[in-house]
């Protein structure tokens, strides 16, 4: 997790630095529904490369936005879920969803 000194002074810039990429937002959108496995996420995010997904998940885990649970099975099963911090983004993503729906309606 980043220290306070490593984050931008502006709160909006802080938020953007943590979740501002297209892929991170879409990963969070999926994880708001339920925990997902890596390949499920990859298959649901059209156009994302394995490297970008891996890097995004690692970054989000380091920032405390998601949790990664490894189950001691053969083959190993790994699930990604939102942490409490990530879950606190639900109203923001919900607002983005509503805005997107309204925008699409305005184009009709």
- Residue 88 is predicted with a pLDDT of 95
Report the C-alpha gap between 88 and 22 in whole angstroms.
Answer: 19
Q: How many helices (H) and strands (E) does the chain have?
A: 6, 3
Question: Which CATH fold would you assign to the domain 4-106?
Answer: Arc Repressor Mutant, subunit A (1.10.10)
Each residue's pLDDT, cut to its tens digit, for the chain (108 residues) gives 667 777 778 888 888 887 888 899 999 999 999 999 999 999 999 999 999 999 999 999 999 999 999 999 888 899 999 999 999 999 999 999 999 999 999 998
Domain boundaries, the chain: 4-106
Smallest CA-to-CA distance from 60 within 97, 30, 40, 33 is with 30
Residues 6 or more apart in contact with residue 85 via CB below 8 angstroms: 64, 65
- Residue 97 is predicted with a pLDDT of 92
Neighbours of 12 (CB within 10 A): 9
């Amino acid at each position: 997790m980043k220290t306070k000194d490593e984050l931008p002074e502006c709160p909006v810039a802080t938020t953007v630095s943590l979740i501002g990429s297209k892929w991170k937002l879409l990963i969070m959108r999926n994880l708001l529904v339920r925990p997902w496995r890596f390949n499920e996420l990859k298959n649901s995010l059209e156009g994302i490369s394995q490297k970008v997904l891996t890097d995004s998940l690692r970054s989000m885990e380091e920032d405390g936005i998601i949790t990664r649970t490894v189950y001691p099975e053969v083959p190993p099963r790994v699930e990604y879920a939102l942490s409490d911090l990530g879950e606190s983004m639900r109203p923001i993503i919900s607002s983005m969803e509503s805005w997107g729906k309204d925008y699409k309606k305005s184009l009709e």
